[in-house]
Structure 1
């Protein structure tokens, strides 16, 4: 028996010449700019993103097509199909088709998820109170504060998601908002202007394009990762074998004399930059920069450690490794032999970390103790963050940002982002996934915005 989501009849009707040419226009609106920019065919998207996403994207274009009127006999495919073939469909299917006919896509923030049953969806474009949505499949994978582009349609007394549902990252959301402001003639506006349902119906392709450009960027390559010198991240481990007869004490006395070496213990030094660059300086928006900074404000350029019969230099770029190697050779001379260097990329480091995490799962530490320790660490980390500049808050600290109405809204969005990223751990029992951020909402006085 057909389900309420069964659109097979409409899809067969699409084979008629008049409707096929109309659909080609809509298809080009949704995918033309991406395919042209990448010199691709639609089939290439399936190769890059997978067949499931390609089908979902096609469904988004098809649902938009169902809402449009064309200068052909019948005007709208849903109206014409129900007039000619409606007798073949059950009541639920006809109700679903009629709901799609007048639907509009929007961007929703989800919360109060009951897996397999329901969720609440807050419209980030039209505003208003959150909508209760009956949903079985998506609720099993969505997390609190996820954003999705979708059509919410009424069917037989319930509100449900249509089939074309796209999960939006913060980057895709920002691209969508900027695109909508440009289309609506408000390019430099700080926020979206008032938008009506009929406006959303005309800009449906913008949702597909915003999601697709973002997804392709993430699928094709990792974003460039650099240290604060602007050098590409390449992790170097330079190992200097100690010469025969040389002791660790001999080495330590000479390493201490190298400019910039800050000793942590008898066998470990932080190699610091010559001059402080300032404390707590926020990174530029969109810049991925990886470095450690001391309390003095000085960046850590590398680490030097004595381990057995080796002196190890660790640095996160080729330039720093080369400079550090020259310093050590100059200071130690014949005390060390020709070094051996191991170089690892970001991807290799991530793979190593995943392997170590897998080993950690089999340790003897009880899960409840591990969770408590991680949560205590996160408590300290986030408490410090409340007094540090945050890029998402315009480089203000969270405590500074909540002093204005606009800042309070930004803080709420920032907290939702933290919660969402924490909840998206592969293992729902991971201590990161079970961390409770509620204290931060209350401490910052924005708990009333947690909806």
Structure 2
């Protein structure tokens, strides 16, 4: 263990103990209860149900309860009550700094002054350090000395943490959570909008300088609860075969013959349910309202399918059978005689299960589906998802499509493919996913 790590651990333990003493004990308890209530409310669980749920999660040397306690401590340290001086860290340093080493005091001051943000892992040296970039504040890449995190994390991983500057070097605090890319893309958009309105730009800095921290923190702290709500949800919610509106995923295609191509294009462009693709003028995303809006900044719609015109055909795909049925009705009402009746194909993940069951009386649940059926369905889902991704702009590829990046920066796109492969393997029952077709499609050589 390095001297700085030992100093940080000392500071963390000392302030954690101090938070449990009067007059801070009651404030700290209330702060922790507020976060617990927030998590329970957003996940629609009672306090006991939430505690039971997190108690069963194995996270190696660190428990889920420990990580949530870390959130409580590190956000409480930042909290100012009636004045900037009315802060637990300020009071501790005033009264007991003499008990601390110089480095421990600096660690505590940094923990107090800096707030949580999102870092993208750029590179790692396992057991030594991470190269990361703050993608909310858009600062320069920094080298963070982190022994355990550098072993567990990989390029393109997105994490919530605080980077502390100690003696000119960077270290993470103890609380680190991972996030999904879709959420990060969404929150980044909101944070950058706020920064622009305040005329704040941190691109020339490795880390926000002390004099600019109040302005940066005012923006970031507005989103801190949302970051941790999503982080906890990301850890507690396993991959399921339902979409965000709780409809079972299936693969459905509707094929129409077009009778008047120009009028069909005009109609599709005018319909609010379809979002036109900027790159492909003959491709639309089919969206529907989100039934439950989890976060204040979360989009009100979800993608449930797509439409594409190829020659004299309108080719439609949806991810659930109900969405397919609604799309048929929608197109019938708006396109009428401009297209033929559709040729419909539907693949239901439960069909095979139903055939194998002797008694149809019991309604199937996801647990009733054999692993081989789950494997087939999820494999097909990932195949279709990746096929679409190849021509979409990906934020972690510097807003290029994988096809473009394969030509300009093949190493970066290979790291992205490794991340996608790891994600798929974790969800598939077999733990295996064949990516060879993607490498072939991009003209890349797959390493053995």
Shorter-chain TM-score above 0.5: yes
Q: Which residue in the other structure is 1:316 paired with?
A: 349
Q: Count residues in correspondence.
A: 338
Q: Which residue in the other structure is 1:376 paired with?
A: none
Q: In structure 1, which of residues 219, 222, 237 is the aligned counterpart of residue 236 of structure 2?
A: 219
SS in 2 for 1:287: strand
CA distance in 1, matches of 2:169, 2:433: 35
Q: Retained in 2: the 8 A contact 1:423–1:433? A: no
SS in 2 for 1:159: strand
User: Comparing 99-108 with 82-91, which one deviates more in the overlay?
Assistant: 82-91
Please give the TM-score of this superposition, normalised by the length of structure 2: 0.56
Gaps spanning 5+ residues in structure 2: where? 58-62, 203-211, 259-281, 288-301, 306-317, 322-341, 377-382
1:12 aligns with 2:17: yes
Shift of 1:115: 1.2
Q: Retained in 2: the 8 A contact 1:232–1:317? A: no
CA distance in 2, matches of 1:156, 1:434: 44
CA distance in 2, matches of 1:400, 1:120: 22
Alignment of 1:30-49 (within 5 A): 30-37=35-42, 44-49=49-54
* Deviation per residue, 1:33-72 (Å, 9 max, x gap): 3334556565643322347223212212321222333337
Shift of 1:14: 1.3
CA distance in 2, matches of 1:321, 1:400: 36
Shift of 1:148: 0.5
Rg larger in structure: 1
Gaps spanning 5+ residues in structure 1: where? 187-191, 236-271, 303-314, 326-338, 357-379, 444-451
Please give the TM-score of this superposition, normalised by the length of structure 1: 0.55
Alignment of 1:44-443 (within 5 A): 44-50=49-55, 52-71=63-82, 75-174=86-185, 176-177=187-188, 180=191, 197-202=213-218, 203-204=220-221, 206-213=223-230, 215-216=232-233, 219=236, 225=242, 232=248, 275-276=255-256, 284=287, 285-287=302-304, 289-290=318-319, 300-301=345-346, 315-316=348-349, 346-349=366-369, 351-352=371-372, 390=392, 418-424=417-423, 425=425
CA distance in 1, matches of 2:437, 2:402: 23
CA distance in 2, matches of 1:233, 1:350: 16
Structure number with greater CO (CA < 8 Å, separation at least 6) is 1
CA distance in 2, matches of 1:72, 1:280: 55
Shift of 1:179: 6.1
Shift of 1:93: 2.2
Q: Retained in 2: the 8 A contact 1:109–1:122? A: yes
Q: Retained in 2: the 8 A contact 1:234–1:346? A: no
CA distance in 2, matches of 1:316, 1:437: 24
Q: What is the aligned-residue RMSD (CA, Å)? A: 5.6
CA distance in 2, matches of 1:134, 1:273: 50
